[in-house]
Amino acid sequence: MSDAHDTHSPQGGEIVPTGPIADPGLPDHQWRPTDVDPAKEKRAERQVAILFGLSAVSTVAFLVAYFTFDIGDNWDVIGGFGASTMALGLTLGLALLFIGVGVIHWARKLMADHEISELRHPARSSDDDREVAVQALTDGINESGIGRRPLIRNSLLGAVGLLGLPAIVMLRDLGPLPGKKLYHTIWGSGTKQAPMRIVRDGIWTPILASDLEIGDLVNCQPDALHNPERYGIDPSEVEGVNLQIHKSKASLILLRMNPGDIKPGKAADGSSRANWTVDGIVAYSKICTHVGCPISLNERTTHHLLCPCHQSTFDLADSGRVVFGPAGRPLPQLAISVDDEGYLVAQHDFDEPVGPSFWERDYYER
């Protein structure tokens, strides 16, 4: 008996409403204390006025501070912030803040906050309105006579159409195409009499191979950037923006490791890189092959070079092989030797383009 009852809810699901449910409408509006109590209203009014007043005071203080404090020479006042900086920033900031806070307070306490429901209307205009609009447009076209005067119409179309051309022509300024510039660096500008010396970055001194000890890392640049005459290079070629361009391709890191640790790889032409090093000294491009950040975070113990931008890691004992990260290609290695004075020099240019990939990188002969 009871089982049969339990299968149906005691209330039953069968009560069917007899008509549509009445719209309950919005609940009664609840008034704020400031709406019903004149004393509170007065108080809120005063509060808003005080906030605006504080803003005015801050603005005046800003003007006073501007003329009182010297800019720059009292940086150590007020906890190292500088009296001028601190006062100007704080007063102007407070002046704006108090206006904002005052307006919000005003809106929350005093402005009407009755909920209003607005019914939606169809977006389409009435047929009458549409007809009037179309009529106005047609009248305008007729009056301008653009249909009757093809000379004007066509010359206007031509003039406007031609305006598109400058936008296209100016794309030319994105060029000229780099040509073979990306394939070569200034390391290749050494001559037989003066092979390109490797010098310390920043202080521009050449490096004696015998001076370096195992574990040393040197950040290097080509000597030509500091000493172009020696290589018969026009000095203007290594000044200003040209200097930056050369550095961005030629920056080098030099490492001396235990010669037994080095696994010589293959050069681009298939020959061995065995004679690219000098007594365990190896040289690699400093420009990451991923997006071109300069890298010199080296771990002496593992010979791993880490790029700080995206954590690409290269094994400098193993032809710059990528051991981790997004870089797609090994770091280019520079073949080095010593000149007759014992200074480290480049044998020739890198045998592949340095830095990140570009479209035509692998499609053209160098």
Partner 1 sequence: MRLLNRSAGRLSRHRRGPIAGLLVLVCGLLLTGGMYAAFAPAQADSNQSQEELVKEGRELFLVGCAFCHGQNGEGVLTQGGSQYGPALTDVGSAAVDFQVGTGRMPMAQPGAQAPRKEVVYTKDEIAALSAYVGSLGTGPQIPDAELYSTDGMSQKDVDELVSRGGQIFLANCTACHNFEGSGGAMPRGGFAPKIRGVDSKHIYEAMLTGPQSMDTFSDGNIPPEDKKAVIAYLNELNDAPSYSGFTLGSLGPVSEGIIAWVGGLGILVGFAVWIAAHTTRSSKKKDEAAA
Q: Which residues bind partner 1 (CB under 8 A)?
A: 30-33, 35-37, 75-76, 79-82, 85, 104, 108-109, 113, 200-203, 207-208, 210-213, 215-219, 255, 294-302, 304, 306, 308, 311, 313, 324
DSSP per position, 111-123: S-----------S
Query: Closer CB to partner 1, residue 196 or residue 218?
Result: 218
CB 224 within 8 A of CB 231: yes
Query: Closer CB to partner 1, residue 59 or residue 296?
Result: 296
Please choose, from the candidates 193, 195, 182, the residue with its C-alpha nearest in 3D space to the C-alpha of residue 222: 195
Give the H or E element holding residue 24: none
Query: Closer CB to partner 1, residue 58 or residue 313?
Result: 313
Query: Closer CB to partner 1, residue 186 or residue 254?
Result: 254
Query: Closer CB to partner 1, residue 53 or residue 93?
Result: 93
**Smallest gap from residue 236 Cβ to partner 1 (A):** 23
Integer Cα distance of 144 and 108 in angstroms: 54
Query: Closer CB to partner 1, residue 85 or residue 357?
Result: 85
The 8-class DSSP code of residue 355 comes to S
**Smallest gap from residue 91 Cβ to partner 1 (A):** 17
Integer Cα distance of 219 and 292 in angstroms: 16
Query: Closer CB to partner 1, residue 113 or residue 239?
Result: 113
For 252, phi then psi, to 5°, come to: -140, 145
**Smallest gap from residue 265 Cβ to partner 1 (A):** 22
Query: Closer CB to partner 1, residue 86 or residue 186?
Result: 86
Burial of 327 (0-12, 13-18, 19+ CB in 10 A): buried
**Smallest gap from residue 86 Cβ to partner 1 (A):** 8
Integer Cα distance of 281 and 347 in angstroms: 14
Query: Closer CB to partner 1, residue 85 or residue 347?
Result: 85
**Smallest gap from residue 341 Cβ to partner 1 (A):** 15
The 8-class DSSP code of residue 294 comes to B
Query: Closer CB to partner 1, residue 218 or residue 238?
Result: 218
Integer Cα distance of 160 and 129 in angstroms: 32
**Smallest gap from residue 39 Cβ to partner 1 (A):** 13
Q: Say how many C-beta atoms besides its own lie within 10 A of residue 278's C-beta.
A: 20
R_g (Cα) of the chain, nearest Å: 39
DSSP bridge partners of 198: 222
**Smallest gap from residue 295 Cβ to partner 1 (A):** 7
**Smallest gap from residue 199 Cβ to partner 1 (A):** 11
CB 261 within 8 A of CB 317: yes
For 238, phi then psi, to 5°, come to: -120, 35
**Smallest gap from residue 224 Cβ to partner 1 (A):** 17
Integer Cα distance of 326 and 290 in angstroms: 7
CB 222 within 8 A of CB 250: yes
Residue carrying structure tokens 């005093």: 110
**Smallest gap from residue 269 Cβ to partner 1 (A):** 31
Please give the structure tokens belonging to residue 160.
């406007």
